[in-house]
Every structure is written in structure tokens, then in C-alpha cells.
Structure 1
Amino acid sequence: MKQSRVLPTTLLYLQLLLPLRIHTGAQVFPVPGTEDTAHWHHLGWSDLQDAILTASSNNWNIAKNVVFFLGDGMGVVASTAARIYKEQKRHRRSGEEGYLAWERFPHTALLKVYTLNEQIPDSAATATAFFTGSKANQYTLGLDSTVFKNQCVKSLNPCRWQTSILDWAQKAGKHTGFVTTTRVTHATPAALYAHSPNRDWECDTKLGKLGHGCRDIAKQLVENAPGKDVKVILGGGRFPLGASTGIPDKLNCVRGDHRNLTHEWLMHKRAFGYKAEYVQNKQHLMSIDTDKTDNLIGLFSDTNMDYEIDRDKGPSGQPSLANMTSVAIKILSKNRHKGFFLMVEGGRIDHAMHETQPLRAFEEIVAFEDALNTALSMVDLSETLVIVTADHSHVMTINGYAKRGNNILGIGSTPSDIDNLPYTTLMFTNGIAYNHYWNGSKVTRPDVRKENTTQPGYQPLSAVPLGYETHAGEDVAAYAIGPMSHLLHRLHEQSYIAHVMSFAACIGPYKLNCTRPKHH
């Protein structure tokens, strides 16, 4: 593409992102509820100009870089509530008027999240879909439609393996990396590099009889392509990699072969002349000389990293998702000619939702947004495709009817006309806090006015009692900016995302078939 095409595209993105920046300045907003007709007409006109400019300025460049942001469990409801939470927390406005960074991207689509054999998905099959371009069966990683959960023998056949965007990028000469707040062997990152019929087979002791003869996910990361060729690996999960000296419990995946795969990874890289480093806390990560580092692995916890609201933010604590994203881009972007692929996962959004703790989930989403803004400040959007999406949603709902500006973590304005008790704006259709009880004459529920609904561990009422809240099955949103971002334009299958990334970057399945229309 001619260089003269880059400037107008970049200016378009700056204009589209401008509404994000006014939140940080001394902009004066109307008092909620006092906006007059002129306000709404001006807002509508502004959005219309953005739409007209966007429609006439699609970027058909080849994407040298692809950055994929995955908010695990960040459905539309969670994103909406987090948007309000963020604005209310910062005491700027009533909350409903705000935006999260990706909500100002020029292109948006919806994705269908069902898996081949389940209506409601899990994170292994969904990640396989958007990383490989083909849907899979529940609980499986990087395998085709013929392999179901626990079918070890079938999974050993390379003909049933699906290649991923990670593999396509590496074969095109791009540097690759991934960042997550979960274990680096957890479902989403594992779908980038592993072929496993069970997402739980993260270490050798989890294989059991059904997994006899299969390779655990941690081994595949360190020993097999494309995992072993990843330049940057940042997240949690010392236990599966045999790098922990901590005391495990029954929930941890602890190696039985006593191998320290992290040490083996490090020694292997150095043996081949690479300048490789292993870091375990924020200070070590942020002090890395990225100019002199070829390969980096950072494991900041024995299992998943801490929730953002609980994280030790000191030097010896864990880095933020933004910290990890920044370092990853600095290392990967040294590949100036071929570019890079980076996956960034806000993985603990999902866990907080499973525990029906909205505040913790919202703090994870805000941290996820910080990481995205960090990335946007470091890349050239004329040559970098950025996609933000979720793998699935959760069963949280936003109840009616609260007054505008009411605390999103608070209590609605009108009590029930059946039992005359108030209820929180946020509730779950199933989960842990199912506190309905018999008061001697009828089934009733707690009076939420007597509870602190805004504390981090508060769990709103659930309708159906379950020990662990479930995923939901509605479509999720995908947001895109950069080269070929306009390919996200309507309702798509979740597997379509991999095709967009491949076509945009002219790699993988579209390496020889990414011709742009002549009229562009």
C-alpha cells in the first residue's frame, strides 16, 4: 500500500477515539437528567459524522500486527454494568453516559458462541473456534469435530489437529506472544498451542487412566510447536510447569514427574543463543531490558493470578495486565519487518462471575480496558488490527427499575409488588447466593437494605441454587479497529474471527488468497 494512504486512516482513528480522551480532561458534562434537545441532537450529529467517515474510509492495508484481546466471560451485560461502574467510581457522571475503550471502535459485530455438541459453551471450545477458524466439541482444545472429551487415542492423530493463528503467524515470520491473568496452561491460552481432548489435562498428574499416552498441556507449551516458539509468555501457573515451591491443595495441577519445565524452557532458549529471561514479580518484569531480551516467560503465581482488587501492587507483587501487555509489545515489536501476533486475556472476569461477585468482575474489566489503552498507545493502527471480544457471557442480569445514576451495585428504586421487599439491580439466574427460605408462613428472601451490597465479596441473589454459576448462551459482541476491521459487520459464527485475522494479515489459510478488491 502507498504510504499516502496511511495518514487519513490514522486521522480517522484519532477522531473515533476522541470521545475516550475527553473523559480524562476538564470536560464539563451536563447534570444527569438536564440534557436538553440540543444536547442529544449534537450527540447524534457527532455519531453520524463518525459513521459517514468510517463507511468511506475502510482500511484495506495488510495487517503487519494483530493484537487480540479476550475478556473471558465478558458478555454484553457484564460490559454494560462495568461501563456504568467505572464512570460512577470515578465520580464523573451518573455512569450510563460513559464508554469503555472498545465501545468507540469503528466496527462491531455479534458472534454466536455455541459449540459443536453444546448449546452453552466452555472456554476451551470457544477459544479453539476463534483461534483456529473451526468450531470444536466442548472441553477440547485444538482438535476437530471427530474428537470428543477424554478421547485420548483419537486426539493423538495429527490429522485431527487444528492449526491456530499462533502457528500461522510464526510460519509467516511474525513474533508471537500471549498474556493472561489465568494460568498460562488454562483453556484460552492453551487453545493457541495445544491439542488436547480435555482442557483440565494441564499437567501429567491430571491425565489419569483416560489420558494415558497423551501429553499434558504444559509439556506441549514447552516442547512442541507452536508453543515452544512463542517469544513472550506471561501469566500465572507455576504448578503445572513444575516451577513452584509452594504448598499445593487438591485443586492445583502439580507435576508428578518432578520436572521444572520453566527451567528447561529457559535453558533450551539460552542453549540456542537467545537472550531469555524468567521473571516472577512486578519489579523483575518492569526492569527487563526489552531491547536485549529475545524470549521472556513470566509466572507470577502458583495458579491463577490474583483478582485486580486483591492484587499486591508493590514491587514484589504481581504486575497488572497493562504492565504485562506493555512489556510484551516492546519485545514483540522489535520484529519491525514481519510484525507480531499478541493475545491478551482478561481471564479472571470469568472467575469472578462464576463466584457471583460483580464488583470483582468489574475491576477486572476496568483493568482489561487499561491494558487495551496501553496497547493502543504503542501500536500504529494503520498497520495493526486490534480485536476485542468475549468467549461467552454469564447469567447476570440488570434488573428494572432503578433511577438514573443509581449505584449499579446498589438497590433498585421500587420494591417488589408481591413481597414488598427491595432487590438489587444486579442478580443472577443461578449461582451460589440462592438465599430463599421459609419464614414460618411463606418462602421469602433477605432484605437487601440490611446488607452491604457494594463490598467486594457481595453476592447478589441467585434464582436457582448452584455451587458454581454457569455460562450463558447469548451472542457476544466483537469490536475491531485497524486494517480490515470492517470485516466485522453483522452476526457471525465465532470461528469467523480466525478468518478475519488470517485474511487481514495474509497468513495461514489466506496466505496466498488475500487479494483486496481493486476498487478500494
Structure 2
Amino acid sequence: MEIHMLMVIFSTSVIAGQIQAAKLEDKEFWYKKGKDQLRKISETFAGNVFASATNVIIFIGDGMSISTITTARIYKNSKSDTNEGQPLYFENFPCVGYMKTYNVDHLVTDGAASATAMFTGSKTKEGRIGIDSTLELNCDDGKHPSSRLSSISEWAAKSSKWVGIVTNTRITDATPAAMYAHIPDRHWECDVPNEFKKCFKDIATQLVEDSPGTYIRVFLGGGLDVMGVTKSDYCRNRKKNLVEYWLNNKKRNGATFVKNAKELNDLKRTRTDFLMGLFSEGSMPYNLERDTSPTGQPSLKEMTEKALEILSKNENGFILLVENGLIDKAHHMNAVKLALDETLELEKAVELAATKTRKDRTLIIVTADHSQGLGFHGNTKRGSSLLGKAGDMNWDILFYGTGPGARRNNLSTCENDTTSSRYTANAHYYSPQSVHTGEDVVVYARGPGASLLVGNYEQSYIAHAISFAAAITAFANMITPQSYIVLLSLTLYIILSNNNITLKCR
């Protein structure tokens, strides 16, 4: 009897401990971790001046693993006959860190939970956007307001900064949606199940009806179907044209809608304060396959340039998200050539942004939301094509752990042609799509506050670092008294020395 009672007590303790652990990983848990990381880094500032960032540009290479960056670098240099070690543009950034991407309930994250972490400062469960881990899927639980996560878009808007989003996926896809939406299921882009309609709007509707979506100045990407401009099976229940709704509500503020490259490039900066551009029904085509004519789709670089033109009109500064979501989509298909080319498209957009903005005023961050299982192996000689075979062996130099490439006998001719954009690399295990992997991803940073991103940290720390660097609203709630003393000392140092020295990383 005593043994039985002890077992009951022990089991109850374990269960209570598990419940407590789960409870702890709510937004307050992650906010505290962010504060602690900021305090740790701010205490190293002595003798250096921390310059405030007027603007912040975050580049996300969806699924851009370290192996993706390495092989994209070699692939680029092999095409131009330069040394394989010649770095990509953002690899020259002075500050480098590593980010841990696991979420609250999975070691390997999805894009919704990872984007939520980066843009709100709190990790959450898989598939959730803008909502922390405490919410149960029940409209009657009364927890919806308390589980809602504010984002860097809201913080920026409250600090009179403008916000923009550029993506080559749908503008309601997981990464861009994390800048403005609050929803427990990332797939509710254009409709919500009946039992949840009383407590949630779909992502597209939140974009045009709710804060902070209504504050965002620039949206460029795909998604004509989710916005109700065109009809598809994907959004068959969409009845309202949300672009017309958005235009009618913004028309007094110089709102413009564009649908092809010419309309985007011809747009006059002085006449536009709000811009929406949708260039495809769903996600935009891969760069190697897009229509490059004037009536076709703009490149990621062109969209980035136009977004910067609009946002730079605001003297208070801006926050801009630029995502290449097609890197991940290509990896999922084991389409390695497409993935490498899209990585180079991201590089072009980064270089454009770096040359168009002032280094002393603009913090630029380049990272990934999670990794992908691209491998690079074999006794490969320098000068070899990465899209070839490893030495004398019949192995692809580049390969995947999982994906459709495991069944090469079922693939079409172009998917077996290494020169094709649809070339499908070998995979070890079959799955309809390659799956994400869980290793850390690299963070490259340049500009004011870049030194905050050196080291190894949680993915949710990114939002805290941005808030600190740009001194936007949430910053006041995340800094400690000790850090205030450090910053006041640094301010005094600036006044006395009349210098503006940015902390150097390398």
C-alpha cells in the first residue's frame, strides 16, 4: 500500500512537473530569455558606442542551410570562373551568429513557428502564427487575447516607422504572415473552419482589416487567389475581393495596386504611400522559369528596390522583411539547381539593399527560418560541376536525406538531366517532399546593432535584438536596469568624445 501511494505521489509529481514545464514556455518565458541575452551582450559594450538603427532590413532565405550557402557560393563562382572560396555578398558582413531553430513542441520546426519566433520574440508550437504555446484549439477557452503575440510590425508602427513585406511566395504564407497575423493554423490563409469563425479571421482578411496589417505600407509577392482577385480551388470559399477592399480603404493615402513588372517599375515614388503588388495566383515562379517580359513577374531584387523607394520616404525610418521562400520550395522537390539559383537571387537583393541604404543608419540581417537536408559529399575535384557525379561513383555530389529523388526511376527526363532547372538530386529515403532539418542556421549582420547578433542564441532573440537596435516600442519593456546604466554610460561617452564608433565584430 505504501509503495502504491509513493508511486501515485511520484506520478502526480512528474505530471505536475510536465504541466508546469509546458506552462513555462509561454511568451513570458521567451521574453525573459530574450532579456537575459540582451543583458549579457549589452554588458560587453563598455568602451564602444552602440549606434541606433533608423532602418532594419531582415532577409530570410527559407530553408537556407549552411550547406545551401556553401554550395550556392561554389555554384556562382564556377559560372564566372572565379575561385570557389569567393564569398557571397552577405558573407562579408562583419557580424556572424548561429540561431537555434527548435520550437516549443518540435526539435525540427516549420516556417510558421520559426517566423513567429523571429518576429515576436516568443517561440510557439508548430503551425501557429502570432500566438504563443498556451492556446488550446477551442473558441470557448477565453485565452485568445492573452495568447496573442505582438510583432516587430506593431512595435515599428507605434514608433512611427513604416513597414514593408516582400516575398516570392504568397503574401499570406507563413513567413510574411507572422509579421501581421494571429492564427492557430498556418493553413487558414483564406478560410477558417466553421467552429472557429467566431474567434479567428483568415490570414488574408486579417491583412486588410486588422492591426498591424492595416499599418503596413508595402506588400509585394504572390497571392491573387487568396486575396480574392482570381478564383481557384485553393480559395474556393473566398467571396470578397480583398484587394478592392484594401484600395477603397487606402485610396485617400495614395494607395496603388500593381500586377506585373512594368507597372511596378513605372510606379512614381512621390505618388505612392501604400503599395500592394500581386504577381501570380499562388507563389511566384522560380527565377529560372519566370516571365521576364514587362508584363511578367519582377525579380526579388526589383521588388526590394521598389519597396525601399517607398519606405525611405519616412524620415522616422522603416522595417522591411524580404523573403525568398522559393529556396525552401525547391529543396522540398530535391530541385537543387533551383534552390541554388534562388539563393543567388536573395544575394542580389541583399547587395541592392546594402548599396541603396546608409551603412551607419541601417541594420541588415540575413538568415534562414530553418534548415533543409541538402548534403555535399564525395571525392569531388575542384572545378567540378556541383550538378554532376562525385568522382568515379554514380552519386550526385549534392543529395538529400529525404524526398522524391529517392525514386529516380519514376522521374521524367528533365528531372534526370543535371543541366535542367527541374533536375532532381538523389535522396536517401523516399518522401513526397524533402523534410526540414533541425541544425542551427547562420545569421549575418551589418550596421548599427549588428554586434547584438554575434554568438549562439534562441531564434526568438532576433526580435529582441531588433527592438533594442531600432529602439522601437517593445524595447522599453525588455531592457533591465543594469542595461540602462550601460547605455547611459555609452551615451555620455558619445557626448564627451564627440565620436560615433560602432562596435566591430571582425
Distance 1:432 1:451, change over 3 A: closer
Q: For each residue in 1:473-500, what CA deviation from the matched residue of structure 2 results, as whole angstroms up to 9, or x when unmatched? A: 0000000000010111111100111011
CA–CA distance in 1 between the matches of 2:357 and 2:451? 19
Matched, 1:477 2:455: no
> Which amino acid in 1 is paired with 2:157?
Q
Query: How many Å apart are 1:509 and its aligned residue?
Result: 2.2
Residue equivalent to 1:340: 318
Match of 1:433 in 2: 405
- Superposed CA offset, 1:252-290 (max 9, x none): 234x251001101001011xx211100000000000001
Is 1:463 paired with 2:428?
yes
- Tell me by how many angstroms 1:518 deviates: 2.3
> Secondary structure of 2:406's match?
coil
| Aligned position for 2:82 | 93
Unaligned runs of 5+ in 1: 1-54, 416-421, 438-444
CA contact (8 A) 2:135 2:144 kept: no
Which secondary structure state, in structure 1, belongs to the residue aligned with residue 384 of structure 2?
A: coil
Task: State the SS of the aligned residue for 1:377.
Answer: helix
Deviation per residue, 1:409-434 (Å, 9 max, x gap): 1111142xxxxxx2110111110011
Q: Flag the 1:511–1:408 CA change in 2: closer, same or farther, 3 A.
A: same
Which residue of the partner structure matches residue 119 of structure 1? 107
- Matched-pair contact (CA < 8 Å) for 1:182–1:305: yes
- Given candidates 188, 191, 199, the residue that maps to 2:186 is 199
Equivalent position of 1:225 in the other structure: 211
Root mean square deviation, CA, Å:
2.2
- Aligned position for 1:327: 306
2-side partners of 1:155 and 1:65: how far apart?
37
Structure 1 segment 254-265 matched on structure 2, within 5 A: 254=236, 256-265=237-246
Larger helix percent: 2
Residue 261 to residue 390, structure 1, CA distance change in 2 (3 Å): same
Aligned residue in 2 for 1:32: none
Deviation at 1:363, TM superposition (A): 1.2
Q: How far apart, CA to CA, are the structure 2 residues paired with 1:499 and 1:218?
A: 27
Change in Cα spacing, 1:78 to 1:155, as seen in structure 2 (3 Å) is: farther
Matched AA of 1:379? T
**Residue aligned with 1:111, SS:** strand
1:294 to 2:273 alignment: yes
3-state SS of 1:508 partner: coil
Distance 1:474 1:268, change over 3 A: same
Q: Is the 8 A contact 1:182 1:235 kept in 2?
A: yes
Quickly say closer, same or farther: Cα 1:348–1:58, change in 2 above 3 A: farther
Write the distance in 1 (CA, Å) between the matches of 2:49 and 2:348.
25
Q: CA deviation at 1:390?
A: 0.1
Return 5+ residue gaps in structure 2 as ranges: 1-44, 494-506
1:269 aligns with 2:250: yes
Name the residue aligned to 2:201. Answer: 215
Q: Deviations over 1:195-242 (max 9, x none)?
A: 0000000012xx224533221000100000000110111100011111
The residue that corresponds to 1:404 in the other structure is 382
**Does structure 2 conserve the Cα–Cα contact (< 8 Å) formed by 1:237 and 1:302?**
yes
Aligned to 1:158: 145
- Residue identity matched to 2:54: K
Query: Normalising by the residue count of structure 1, what TM-score does the alignment of the two structures yield?
Result: 0.81
Classify 1:451/1:185 alpha carbon distance in 2 versus 1 (closer, same or farther; 3 Å). Answer: closer
Separation in 1, partners of 2:52, 2:182: 29
Q: Structure 2: how far apart are the matches of 1:156 and 1:316?
A: 47
- Larger RCO (alpha carbons 8 Å, 6+ apart): 2
Structure 1 residue 140 displacement after superposition: 0.1
- Give yes or no for the alignment of 1:364 onto 2:352: no
Distance 1:80 1:124 in 2: 25
1:54-73 equivalences in 2 (<5 Å):
60-73=50-63
Distance 1:485 1:408 in 2: 33
Structure 2 residue aligned with 1:498: 463
| Among candidates 44, 69, 79, match of residue 69 of structure 2 | 79
- Normalising by the residue count of structure 2, what TM-score does the alignment of the two structures yield? 0.83
The answer on whether the counterparts of 1:290 and 1:331 sit within 8 Å (CA) in structure 2 is yes
Q: Paired residues, what number?
A: 438
Native 8 Å contact 1:128 1:141 kept in 2 = yes
